[in-house]
């Protein structure tokens, strides 16, 4: 008797890992398990779950994974390559013709291994793109456009993207980059946005709240999150410098990553009175913290359309706050902000334009808060239920496709 097709997800990150990637993938697997047998091959310690734990729940198979410190780049490359090989073997052992096998782009070595194993077994293949390499490396200034590494990655991508039955992107700005590769078909690309991880609803500003009372200014601008290589937090700091004589405006900056180190160095040297640096708040205080600002800034580097994840945007929308994003107009974050009229889109790495937008937002706080109300309404479009249903539809079509 022929066995029913299964969905197999191969990933390094999965609950109980606390990253947003793990959270999203856990929800996706849970949703698809409602329709078909689902197996997760996870590189996260402590994620294993016995088969048959419950009906309509994924079976979790934990794959051994070595995690060197983040600053040990050579060791991380070796570890990610080793994990990719272990997951390749795990998929090859388990996949059957008719199964749907999906991988993600973190670590970057994973999609090539998983797609190869799935094709060797005659399974359908899907890829969820969170980071697009080498484009992200080029945008971050970590690789040259025509370097050997860049050319090799593009050569590998040419095979990868042609081999996939479905490519899921979380921004509409990714598809044009994918279609530059030869023989990549538009009908294999599916846009499924991420969603807010906070309860959706406008929060009225609380001027007496614990995250706001330290500042005398009536208008608070925030910056938070992982300030990685594709972000330009210095732009916000330089905008604060330009507005340092505006006593009505205060900047609250919080985060981690390479950009956070840059901000702490800048503030140590400048000691701007209109800037406060805060450590990241606990998860259970995040909604309150986000609601303490009147508007949030998202500063990107130039030329990052299609290569940077706009996930933090959805949490700002969820609490009902206007957004000032520095990016190209065709980037997903810029498209969403402009379409919903929930903030301002300014050129990337332009402190003057950013300062001008912040001044405009502060000059009419009531109008800015109204944009925040519109943001909370827009957040309803980016719900977990809507996005996971799209994943279910994509996998179902792949399962039913005889081509």
Confidence at residue 129, expressed as pLDDT on a 0 to 100 scale: 95
Confidence at residue 71, expressed as pLDDT on a 0 to 100 scale: 66
Question: Beta partners for 220?
Answer: 250
> What is residue 189's three-state secondary structure?
strand
Confidence at residue 307, expressed as pLDDT on a 0 to 100 scale: 86
Confidence at residue 137, expressed as pLDDT on a 0 to 100 scale: 83
Query: Residue 297's Cα: distance from chain center in Å?
Result: 16
- The residue count for the chain: 403
Q: What is the DSSP string of 62-73?
A: E-------TT-H
What does the DSSP 8-state code read for residue 354?
Answer: H
Q: Are 91 and 119 in contact (CB under 8 A)?
A: no
Q: pLDDT means per 10 residues in the chain (403 residues)? A: 81 93 96 96 87 76 86 79 94 96 92 96 96 84 85 93 96 94 95 94 88 88 92 97 96 94 96 95 94 96 86 94 96 94 97 98 96 96 93 95 59
Write down the pTM of the prediction.
0.90
Residue 60 has phi, psi (to 5 degrees) of -110, 125
- Residue spans per domain, the chain: 7-195+383-400, 219-379
Cα separation, 111 vs 113, in Å, equals: 6
User: Tokens 């081999």 identify what position?
Assistant: 163
Give the max Cα distance, the chain.
77
CA distances to 55, 102, 169 from 353, rounded to whole Å, are 54, 41, 30
Question: From start to end of 206-336, where are the E strands?
Answer: 219-223, 249-254, 275-278, 295-299, 322-326
Cα separation, 111 vs 131, in Å, equals: 11
Q: Which fold has domain 7-195+383-400?
A: Rossmann fold (3.40.50)
Residue 287: which of 366, 376, 368 has the closest Cα? 376
Which CATH code for domain 219-379? 3.40.50.2000
At CA 16, angle to CA 12 and CA 17, rounded to 5? 50
Structure token pair of residue 286: 């995040």
Confidence at residue 403, expressed as pLDDT on a 0 to 100 scale: 46
Decide if 7-195+383-400 and 219-379 have a common fold.
yes
Confidence at residue 2, expressed as pLDDT on a 0 to 100 scale: 52
Cα separation, 247 vs 236, in Å, equals: 17
């Amino acid at each position: 008797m022929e066995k029913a097709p299964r969905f197999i997800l191969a990933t390094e990150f999965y609950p109980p890992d606390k990253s947003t990637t793990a959270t999203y993938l856990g929800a996706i697997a849970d949703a698809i398990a409602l329709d078909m047998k689902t197996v997760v091959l996870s590189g996260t310690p402590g994620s294993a779950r016995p088969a048959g734990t419950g009906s309509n729940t994924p079976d979790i198979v934990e794959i051994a994974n070595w995690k060197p410190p983040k600053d040990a780049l050579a060791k991380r490359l070796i570890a990610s390559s080793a994990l990719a090989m272990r997951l390749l073997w795990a998929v090859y052992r388990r996949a059957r013709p008719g199964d749907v096998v999906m991988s993600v782009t973190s670590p970057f070595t994973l999609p090539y291994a998983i797609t190869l194993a799935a094709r060797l077994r005659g399974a359908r293949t899907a890829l969820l793109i969170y980071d697009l390499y080498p484009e992200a490396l080029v945008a971050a200034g970590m690789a040259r456009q025509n370097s050997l590494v860049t050319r090799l990655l593009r050569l590998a991508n040419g095979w990868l993207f042609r081999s996939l039955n479905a490519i899921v992107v979380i921004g509409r700005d990714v598809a044009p980059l994918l279609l530059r590769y030869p023989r990549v078909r538009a009908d294999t690309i599916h846009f499924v946005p991420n969603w807010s991880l906070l309860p959706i609803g406008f929060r009225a500003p609380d001027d007496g709240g614990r995250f706001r009372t330290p500042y005398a200014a009536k208008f608070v601008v925030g910056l938070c999150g992982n300030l990685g290589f594709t972000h330009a937090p210095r732009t916000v700091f330089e905008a604060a410098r330009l507005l340092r004589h505006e006593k009505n405006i205060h900047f609250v900056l919080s985060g981690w990553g390479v950009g956070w180190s840059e901000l702490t160095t800048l503030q140590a040297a400048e000691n701007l009175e209109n800037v406060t640096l805060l450590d990241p708040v606990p998860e259970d205080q995040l909604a309150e913290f986000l609601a303490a600002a009147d508007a949030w800034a998202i500063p990107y580097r130039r030329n990052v359309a299609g290569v940077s994840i706009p996930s933090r945007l959805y949490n700002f929308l969820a609490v009902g706050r206007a957004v000032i994003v520095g990016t190209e107009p065709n980037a997903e974050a810029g498209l969403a902000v402009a379409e919903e009229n929930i903030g301002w889109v300014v050129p990337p790495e332009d402190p003057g334009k950013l300062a001008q937008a912040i001044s405009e937002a502060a000059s009419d706080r009531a109008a800015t808060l109204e944009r925040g109300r519109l943001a909370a309404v827009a957040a309803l479009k980016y719900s977990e239920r809507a996005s996971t249903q799209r994943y279910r539809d994509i996998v179902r079509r792949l399962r039913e496709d005889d081509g």
